[in-house]
Amino acid sequence: MGVRTGQFAAALCVLACSACGVGVGQLAAHTTPAHPAPPIVTSTAPVSESPYAEPSEQLRDLATRFVSIALGYDAWTDARLSFLDQLKTIATNGELRRLQDSERAHLRWWVLRQRLQQVTVQVTGVSQKPVSDDRVRLEVEAVRVTRSTVSTVRDFVAIALVVVRTPDGWRVNQAAGGGL
C-alpha cells in the first residue's frame, strides 16, 4: 500500500511541474550561486633561504656527543650525576649548573638501579639555524631506547641546543627537551 502511495505522489509532482510549463532543465539554468567564487590569483614569491642548514661536522659531532651523554646512562654502573663530569669539556659552566637541577639529574636512581635500567640514544638528525656569528641553534632529533627488567621503550626526542663559540671551541650553552 505504501509503494502505491509513493508512486501516486511522484506522479502528481511530475504533473504539477509539467502543468506550470517550467522544465527541470530550465530550473537549473536559472539558478545562480549565492556567492560567486573569488578569482584565483597566483603570484610567484621570491625563493628564500631555507630556515635550516646542514651543520658543519664539528657542530654535528658536538650535538651528537652532548645528547648521547646527557640523555644516556647505565643505572647499574653509572653514578646519578656522572654525566655532568662527562659534559665539562663540551658545555659552558652556566649550562652545567642548570643541568644539576634538571629532570635528568633528579631521576630516582635507586629505582633505576633495581630495574637495571639502561638508556641509549641514537641521533638521527641535526640541523642548524644561525642566530649570530658566535651563536648557533641546533635542532637534534634522536631515538631513545630505555631497557630495564620491566620493559623496553623506544621514543623519539627532539632537543634544541644553543652552542656558543668560546676560546676553547664550540660549547653547548643551552639545552632543552628530552628531560633536560
C-alpha cell at 56: 658543519
- Give 23-49 pLDDT, tens digit per residue: 545 555 555 555 666 666 555 555 555
Per-residue confidence band for 22, with pLDDT thresholds at 50, 70 and 90: low
User: Does residue 177 have a pLDDT over 90?
Assistant: yes
Ordered strands of the 118-130 beta sheet = 73-74, 118-130, 135-147, 152-166, 169-176
Domains of the chain: 57-176 (3.10.450.230)
Grouping H, G, I as helix, E, B as strand and the rest as coil, residue 17 is: helix
115-152 pLDDT, tens per residue? Answer: 999 999 999 999 998 777 789 999 999 999 999 999 99
Residue with cell string 506550470: 20
Task: Write down the H helix ranges in the chain.
Answer: 2-20, 24-30, 57-71, 82-87, 93-99, 109-114
- Secondary structure of residue 178 in the 3-state scheme: coil
Q: At residue 19, does pLDDT exceed 60?
A: no
Q: What is the mean pLDDT of the chain?
A: 82
Share of the chain above pLDDT 90, in %: 58
